[in-house]
Amino acid sequence: MEVTLALLADAANVSQEGKLNILGAFANINAVKFPARHPEMQLVLRFEASPAEAETKKHLEVKVIAEDGQAVGGFEGEFMVSSATSGQRIRMQTVMRILDAVFPKPGDYTFAVLIDGKTEYEVPLSLTLIAVEKKKNDGD
């Protein structure tokens, strides 16, 4: 099992026909203060497995790691690999909704995607502190 695509986006879905729709892929968030709270994002993943892995259970874990190596979040779960069609490689995709993510400080983060305990992909995300200009009053 390998991850062939992984990214963060504002919105994404998989249609009934199996088409992956992605809107607003990003790798940077600008914040006016820290800790920074991002209300919603989607982690988009596409997997590919060999026919020998058909109908097996896999453990998926996503760890959010700060640049100092400390884990600042994450989640995990299990899924079943789809059935194989005439010996072809199995392709699957999913969209994971992440709500209210909190990032403690500016810097580089990594969404590490692990399958059965092995890191298969890393999605980078940079958080930058931006200055906000205060509006001047007309009387100043």
Q: What is the pLDDT of residue 136?
A: 67
Residue 134: inside a domain, yes or no?
no
CA distance 64 to 76: 11
Residue 139: inside a domain, yes or no?
no
Residue 140: inside a domain, yes or no?
no
In this structure, what DSSP letter does residue 34 have?
S
Which domain range does residue 57 map to? 2-129
Q: What is the pLDDT of residue 138?
A: 59
CATH code (residue 24): 2.60.40.1930
Q: What is the pLDDT of residue 42?
A: 98
Evaluate whether 95 touches 14 at the Cβ level (below 8 Å).
yes
**134 phi and psi, to 5 degrees?**
-85, 140
Residue 26: inside a domain, yes or no?
yes
Residue 135: inside a domain, yes or no?
no
Count of domains in the chain? 1
Residue 83: inside a domain, yes or no?
yes
pLDDT in tens, the chain (140 residues): 999 999 999 999 999 998 999 999 999 999 999 999 999 999 999 999 999 999 999 999 999 999 999 999 999 999 999 998 887 999 999 999 999 999 999 999 999 999 999 999 999 999 999 987 777 665 55
Helix (H, G, I), strand (E, B) or coil at 7: strand
Q: What is the pLDDT of residue 129?
A: 96
